[in-house]
Amino acid sequence: MTTRRTALLLALLASALCQAQTNPVKVQKHWIGESAADFLQDEPSMSPRIAQCIALNEKVAEAAAPLPEKKHQSSYDKMMAATNQEIAVEDAKIPVISHGCGPLLAALRQNGTGFFDNIDSGDQQAVLNAETAPTSTRWFFENGRLMEIKIWFYKATYQQIRDDMTARVGVQPIEASTPEENGFGATWTDLRADWLTDSIHAHLEQQNNPADPQLSMVVESRAAFDAEIKKLKSQPSPLD
C-alpha cells in the first residue's frame, strides 16, 4: 500500500480510531506539545552542550566585531586586516557548525523553531558511543514546543516497537506491507504501522532492503498530519 493510500485511509478512519487521550503519549520521556522548558527539565545532560554552543557563538561574535580604526593605515593594510578577520570568523564558525549549535539554540530558545539530534555530532566520543547505542533520536520544535520526534532503532524489532507503541497509545494501528524489488532481482517486503488519535499521528516503518535495512518511527502532532492529508487531497488526480 502506498504512503498516499495509507494516509488517506487513516483520514477516512480517523473518527473510528480517535480516542480521548487523558495523558500525553510519552516517547523517550517526552510528548508532542511539550514546551522546551519542560523538555530541558528531563534532559539535564543537555545543559553542558547548550552552554558550549553559547560560548562558541560568542567567539564568532567576538571575531566579527568591528575592527578598530588605525590612523594612516594604507588601503592594502585595511584590505589585509579585513581578509584576516573574515578568515578568523570562518574558523570560529567551524565548531559551531560541527556541534550543530545553530539548529539546537534555535529550537530551544523561547518560542524557538528548529531541530537537533540527541547525539552531539561535534563530540567524537559521543559519536563513537552512538555506534553501539540502541537508538538515535531527532527532536523537532516549533514555536517553543516539541512537534515531531523521529527515532531510528538499531537493536529492536518491528513487532516489539509496534506492540509497545500500541500499549502507550491505546489505539490499534493500521498495518500495511509493501513488496519491493531492486534492479538485481532481490525481493523483500517493507512493513508499516500507523496510529492516529485526537492529538498525535505515529508512523512505524521497517524497510527491509538488504542493502540498507532500517527501522524507524516518526511521532508528530495531529495538526501536522491533518495538514499533510489536506495537501494530499488537494493534489489533482491523473484522471481529472
pLDDT score for 98? 67
In a domain, 176, yes or no: yes
> Number of structural domains, the chain?
2
Looking at 64, 87, 121, which one is the last position of a domain? 121
- Same-domain status, 96 and 63: yes
Give yes or no: residues 7 and 64 share one domain: no
- pLDDT on residue 85: 64
In this structure, are 183 and 212 located in the same domain? yes
Regarding whether 188 and 224 lie in a shared domain, the answer is yes
If asked whether residues 4 and 60 sit together in one domain, one would say no
Residue 77 forms part of a structural domain:
yes
Asked whether residue 1 falls in the same domain as residue 54, the answer is no
Same structural domain, 19 and 40: no
In a domain, 126, yes or no: no
Q: Within this chain, do residues 113 and 170 fall inside the same structural domain, yes or no?
A: no
- pLDDT for the residue 7: 55
Could you tell me if residue 2 is inside a domain?
Answer: yes
Q: What percentage of the chain exceeds 90 in pLDDT?
A: 39
Q: In this structure, what C-alpha cell is assigned to residue 212?
A: 540498507
Beta carbons within 10 angstroms of residue 172's beta carbon: 10
Residue 70: inside a domain, yes or no?
yes
In a domain, 110, yes or no: yes
Residues 148 and 98 in one domain: no
Q: Which three cell numbers stand for residue 150?
A: 523521529
Looking at residue 76, what is its pLDDT?
62
Extract the residue ranges of the chain whose pLDDT is less than 50: 1, 12, 15-16, 20
Last residue within a domain, chosen from 89, 121, 153? 121
| Residue 240 domain flag | no
Whether residue 94 sits in one domain with residue 161: no
Q: How far apart are alpha carbons 104 and 46 in whole angstroms? A: 10
Specify the pLDDT at position 129: 65
Domain boundary among 88, 121, 154: 121
Residue 44 sits in the same domain as residue 110: yes
Q: State whether 105 and 173 are in the same domain.
A: no
Q: What is the pLDDT of residue 146?
A: 96
Listed residue (191, 200, 199) closest to 219, CA to CA: 200
The answer to the question of residue 130 being in a domain is: no
| Residue numbers of the domain that contains 115 | 36-121
